[in-house]
Amino acid sequence: MSEAVREFFERDVSFKNPKDVVDEIVREWRKLQNVPPEQREERIKSIARGIKNEICECNHPIVKKMIDFGTAKGKLECARALERIIQDLLSRGIKSTEDVKKIEEAVEEFKRGLMEYVENRFLKGRRGS
């Protein structure tokens, strides 16, 4: 990973604290207890996608237009894995510190995956010049 990409992420990409993600999952899990079972699975998928998509935000206006973060959030395996973990925890609730650790690790992996995606996009652009 290049130092420039790391610096860019530290400066211009914000990530939610994993504790805030856990708190959001707990809040949403509580709300889901009032959803009829036949509607719960679709709601879980929708909520998990929303939580995942809000975990990070690019704050740099030019880079935000150059790099499709939405596509990355939807297509990267680390993003899909994070969404599956969120779905699982929305389905059964957070029961242990292991569940919290899963979220922390998945968010960190998501961050690394996005960094690699951005780095590859920039390298691809340079090679094409």
Per-residue pLDDT tens digits for 24-39: 999 999 999 999 999 9
pLDDT at 129 over 50: no
User: pLDDT-based confidence at 128, cuts 50/70/90?
Assistant: very low
pTM of this prediction exceeds 0.75: yes
User: What are the DSSP E strand ranges found in 3-110?
Assistant: 13-15, 56-58
State mean pLDDT over 47-60: 94
Amino acid occupying residue 62: I
- Average of pLDDT values for 66-78? 87
Q: Where are the domains of the chain?
A: 3-121
Residue 91 structure tokens: 């389905």
Q: Are strands 56-58 and 13-15 parallel, antiparallel or unpaired?
A: antiparallel
In which element (H, E) is residue 36 found? none
